[in-house]
Amino acid sequence: MSGEPDDDRLTEAGLPPEGTGRVLILACGALAREVLALRDMHGWRHLDIQCLPAILHNHPERIVPAVEAAAEAARGRYERIFVAYADCGTGGLLEAACRRLGVEMIAGPHCYSFFEGNATFAARGEMTAFYLTDFLVRQFDAFVWRPLGLDRHPELRDAYFGHYETLVHLAQTEDPELTERARACAERLGLRFERRFTGYGDLAEALARAARV
């Protein structure tokens, strides 16, 4: 695959598999760039990548049916399937579905946790932080501003974000321009800004396990 995938396409349509490789990584579209970067970094050419629409992030009730359908459609074409989702608001239903399907998934409640490292994230116990990954910074309007109606009713900002104190950018890459975009998101929400460089966090080890065949 040449070039980086388009964020708008990842949001609405996801990314189809290339149809090659022995292991399918069935991922959230919000993780596409990171999963592809790790594959290329380590030369895991036996991994095929399929991403479901990232906008499912805003509709967790749709994640389990989408993962089940994609996994069943891929069954028999790969030696293994690995689900690159954490719980992601499914209340344990995705984990139960993966057990039924006989596939492994990433441990943790959500991508904010596994990017920072599940143990580190849990130890912080933060209750007043609003998190954005690199992808969500780039797609802030599509995932936060417009879905909450803040483009039409900015006066609702305090109703949605009054209990938050800080916007935390969990950064996967060193990108000064993206940092400034994240800072601007914090200003729009009236929150303090903090940046934490996480790199790929627990995702790297999870994919390394998936790559072992």
What rounded mean pLDDT belongs to the chain? Answer: 96
At residue 108, does pLDDT exceed 80?
Answer: yes
Q: Which residues contact 70 (CB under 8 A, 6 or more apart)?
A: 26, 50, 52
What is the per-residue pLDDT for 213? 73
Q: Which residue has the tokens 């990842």?
A: 10
Closest CA to 67 of 49, 55, 80, 85: 85
Q: How far is CA 139 from the centre of its chain?
A: 12
Q: 74 is written with which tokens?
A: 């891929």
Q: 26 is written with which tokens?
A: 């069935």
Closest CA to 133 of 53, 32, 204: 32
Do the bridges between strand 80-84 and strand 47-52 make them parallel or antiparallel, or are there none, so unpaired? unpaired
For 116-129, the pLDDT digits (tens) are 999 999 999 999 99
